[in-house]
Structure 1
Amino acid sequence: MPKHNIHAVTAAAALVCLAALGPALGPAPDSAASPSAQSAGRSGAAAPSRFVPGPCPRTPEPIEALADARCGFLEVPENRSRPGGKTIKLAVAVIPAVKPAKPAQDPLVFMAGGPGGDTFDDIPFLIESGLNKDRELILMAQRGNLYDQPNLACPEIDRFNARSVGLGYDAKQAQQLMLKAVKGCRDRLTAAGVDLSAYNTTENAADFADLRTALNIPRWNVYGYSYGSNLALTYLRLHPEGIRAVALDSVTPPQSAVLPWGWPSAAEGIDDIFAACAAEPACKSRYPDLPRTLTEQVRKLEAHPLTLDVPPPGGGKPVKVVLDGGALLNLIVAFTPRPKDLPAALDELSRGNPQRFAQARAAGSVQNTGAFAHGLTNSVACAEWAPGYSEPDVLKAGREAFPGWPDTVLAQVPQLPFQFPVCRTWNVPDRASVQRVATVSSVPALLISGTFDVKTGASWAKGVARNLSRSTSVEVPGIGHWVVPQSPCAQHVLASFFARPTAPDTACVDGLRPGPFTIVPK
């Protein structure tokens, strides 16, 4: 997609100022506090939330759709369980429908992935996918995100990430530097008065419940992807009022989202990519045994890492990168290279050409300081995903997913290295018992999965669907994480779902096949 990479949606986005706000975005009457705020008010826990109109945030690249948007902040209690506590401000934008003459009365609210990704940076994907074609599209930055007050960015961690490409993925030095960065961020945020325990999925869900009431919206539709699907399910469970329909993309079940879960999800997606290659004659002939090739390369690189000087994407001075087994696996999970190029990249690597993976590793050296809210990531991961598990549990899950791989690779959760020592440093209360709960609901739901998703394996949607009595599930072949922006068929299914939540048109999925893989001559 122009100017954006679907596999790098956490980059900083752009914004412009806004025009006058219409009545739909006006603050609710004083007596119309949200359900969560009303409950809190009865117990004396917190004051009601309120919406305050204001200009849209300014971002590095202008986003055309925001030129006509209506923006402001939702002011909410930072911690709803603490009477008289401080409030925080969450950035909100309402993007008008493309068909303003007769838009649908029930708008669509979007819940971004992450946790910690910049919601506003996702706008181009949402617009290009047609989500505001016939209804308003509402976005709110989850608490702690970019453009919120406070913003839980950790430039300390951004700087570490840029430096880490020149270190072994699981090297002792990498762990020491990462923990130093995590501690530095935590100390700075807490010294500024941030209550890190309040940045969790329960509070996130209450924020969206408050937003609906503050904007005077009787009912709306919900669309969330990745962590946003976890949040949407939590929201549906705790605040079902006013929800017309819920669409979940790249499903992350709250009851299953624990640190070891990363391994079976990665294995499922990689297996599906390799199986699709084996089903394509040209790919099977050129790359006949991809599982063996991957295992051999992980073992080889973990035993003898490559150290290379590689220019980052777009050119510039070469940077030192270390390519070991852990780095290789995590580049695949990060969709670099893309699934269609993965067989060719592994074959080239096995023949002594690591260029595709090395350049992908070098891309991590480009700092995007402040765009990602690592503070929210750590607060959610450490309160909700880590409790009740340990390093041996992660290693066991890794061994089951990838038998025969080195333990040094399998000891680290994909994309969350050193997470247990990180959590000991971050030190937030255990919230597992209140978060790891299945959502049971009769609200119409759509679950969309991609068969090539190595972050949230497609099969996990099935368990969620069993508890949603009026749900429709679709698997889109050949698509990875965050399906809708990558699949015109998924866009059609989603639009038909919001038009007819109990009878979406899924016919286009039946004839889909994965696209062709890249075939490089020998």
Structure 2
Amino acid sequence: MSVRQPHHRRTARRLPAALAGATAGLLLAGLVAAPASAENGPGSPLATVARTVGDARFVPGPCPRTADPIPALEGARCGTLTVPEKHDRPKGRKITLGVAIVAAVTRRAADPIVWFAGGPGDDAVSEAQLAIDGGLNRDRDVIFMSQRGTYSADPALLCPNIDRFNADSLGLVYGAPSTGRLHVGATRACREQLKRQGAALSAYNTGESAADYAALRLALGIRQWNVFGISYGTDLALTYMRKFPQGVRSVGIDGVLPPSLAGASLTWSAARQGFDGLFKACAQQRSCNRRYPHLSDTFERLVRRLEARPITTTVTVPSRPAPVKVVLDGGVLVNWLTSATHVAAGVPRSIDELAHGNPQRIAEQWAGGKLSPQAIGRLAHGLAYGVFCSEWTPFETEADVIRAGRRAFPSFPRSVLANAPQLPFLHADCRAWSVPPAPHSIRNVTRSSIPTLVMSAGFDAQTGASNGAYVARTLSRSTVVTVPYVAHVAFAESPCARSITVSFFDSPTAPNKSCLAGLQPPRFEIAP
């Protein structure tokens, strides 16, 4: 899930909803399927003609803006999809979503793949390089459309003031009430800014986004396509296949966030699973276990110690010429490890150095993520809070979050448990955001016979591998895969995961998983 705390290494994810039934019905009634003659077949490139279907209109044009150059988009066919800001108010305000289609490398199958980005708040067009580097377009065109509110959409609900607060908060005690007041103040300022721009904040959520993709398929004249979602994009994919199953050949989900469980409570379980996976791998590697025994106990002891007595240090990071003050407390240590599983090989050494009085490695990684230029002005906080505050917090209490944390980490202080990993002060933020709760149907379990690849990662501390087995119980034609020794979003981390994914879209009921047998744990760094 992409949330308020940026990773120290940027990857396409982030960190684990639908319209009410009546609203979805209105949308489907307004969308008239394109005639067969207008559908794109193997000889007819997608996105080359303008088309209006119902209340949505696709227009070919320049490729969407991206914060960084994306070589994968060179030669892409691009344009925009215009849809109602609220699908149940088709005559109201319109929004525009950027679309880019990267062509298949070899033969072009008739059914393309559409990519659902992580977040909530990441931009799909900016994730194109990840998808193409992973070979997803070997035989199929791959479609990227910005989710509403994200970087390449109009309007873009970014709120870089929140990102700047994250950077400026390095010198603050993570879970302190005074930090919380500033945190919520940044959220409130974001809300006020977006309201002045005219955005209907209650329209930025998973259900409306799912309706956008249903409109896109018809506006592009696609009879059948495949869906691939990562991290929060799995929540969107599960909602989409429940609400709009028409025309879906297969679905791949990686780093699974079930809509029926999504929330701050779930992140505690995920953290436990990801941490334990990494600690177990160290214990099973003789050199790591000998040099760093009882790593889990050491980590939990450090969380308690730092929460009681935070330490302050200074570090230098590439983006800042002057030294930066960093406060490390128990909450920071938990959040650092939640994303540090992406660089697992160095984690035992970093924890050991901290235990022996040297916080530099951890402090540098923590500060590096928050101060990176890639952490400023790219995440759509307007969409993130639209999801969090209508689909998550109305269905769990702050006490629920603490109880979930205590089940996962009984030894952690209450002050740590009150702020779930990567979601500090979430309920207070959502009170400030002030959007209505989604209908309870947002939490419905997805039941489907659409062939589905359910992929998880053994070191995933953000959505947790157990989520895969949970959603697969009601997906009758699912293939469940856990890729060991990698962190959140296996496709981004593992050549084996990428191979399985491409194989799945070739054969949705029988993907080739043989590469799993040869996977090995990382060679953990051993300090002198």
TM-score when scaled to structure 2? 0.90
Q: Which amino acid aligns with 1:365?
A: L
Aligned to 1:146: 151
Q: Which amino acid aligns with 1:72?
A: G
Deviation at 1:126, TM superposition (A): 1.1
Deviation at 1:162, TM superposition (A): 1.0
Matched, 1:9 2:14: no
The equivalent position to 1:406 in structure 2, one of 395, 413, 421, is 413
Deviations along 1:208-228, one digit per CA (max 9) or x if unpaired, are: 111111111111111001100
Deviations along 1:17-55, one digit per CA (max 9) or x if unpaired, are: xxxxx752145654xx2xxx5xxxxxxxxxx11112221
Deviations along 1:129-173, one digit per CA (max 9) or x if unpaired, are: 101111111001110000111111112211111111111111222
| Shift in alpha-carbon separation, 1:215–1:55, aligned structure 2, 3 A | same
Q: For the residues of structure 1 that align with 2:341 and 2:228, how far apart are their CA atoms? A: 26
Aligned to 1:495: 502
Deviation at 1:432, TM superposition (A): 5.4
Q: How does 1:463-502 map to 2 (within 5 A)?
A: 463-502=470-509
Deviation at 1:395, TM superposition (A): 1.0
| Shift in alpha-carbon separation, 1:343–1:6, aligned structure 2, 3 A | closer
Q: How does 1:215-254 map to 2 (within 5 A)?
A: 215-254=220-259
The equivalent position to 1:278 in structure 2, one of 283, 287, 295, is 283
Deviation at 1:258, TM superposition (A): 2.0
Aligned to 2:18: none
| Unaligned segments of structure 2, at least 5 residues | 1-6, 14-43
Q: Could you tell me whether the CA contact under 8 Å between 1:337 and 1:356 is conserved in 2?
A: no
Aligned to 2:267: 262
Q: For the residues of structure 1 that align with 2:288 and 2:203, how far apart are their CA atoms? A: 49
Aligned to 1:365: 371
Matched, 1:97 2:133: no
Deviations along 1:468-514, one digit per CA (max 9) or x if unpaired, are: 11111111110101101211111111111111111111121133232
Q: How does 1:177-192 map to 2 (within 5 A)?
A: 177-192=182-197
Aligned to 1:43: none
Aligned to 2:138: 133
Aligned to 2:46: 24
SS in 1 for 2:260: coil
Deviation at 1:240, TM superposition (A): 0.5
Deviation at 1:440, TM superposition (A): 0.8
SS in 2 for 1:387: helix
Matched, 1:349 2:354: yes
| Unaligned segments of structure 1, at least 5 residues | 12-21, 38-47
Aligned to 1:164: 169
The equivalent position to 2:118 in structure 1, one of 109, 113, 117, is 113
Q: Could you tell me whether the CA contact under 8 Å between 1:70 and 1:94 is conserved in 2?
A: yes
Q: Could you tell me whether the CA contact under 8 Å between 2:87 and 2:211 is conserved in 1?
A: no
Q: Which amino acid aligns with 1:69?
A: A
TM-score when scaled to structure 1? 0.91
| Shift in alpha-carbon separation, 1:337–1:311, aligned structure 2, 3 A | farther
Q: Could you tell me whether the CA contact under 8 Å between 1:336 and 1:360 is conserved in 2?
A: no
SS in 2 for 1:386: helix
Matched, 1:288 2:293: yes
| Shift in alpha-carbon separation, 1:6–1:362, aligned structure 2, 3 A | closer
Deviations along 1:247-271, one digit per CA (max 9) or x if unpaired, are: 0101111111122111011111101
Q: Between the two proteins, what is the percent identity of the paired residues?
A: 48
Matched, 1:434 2:441: yes
Deviation at 1:369, TM superposition (A): 3.0
Deviations along 1:342-376, one digit per CA (max 9) or x if unpaired, are: 11111111011111111012211345432110111
Aligned to 2:26: none
Q: How does 1:271-350 map to 2 (within 5 A)?
A: 271-313=276-318, 316-335=321-340, 338-350=343-355
User: Using CA pairs below 8 Å that are at least 6 residues apart, which structure has the higher relative contact order?
Assistant: 2
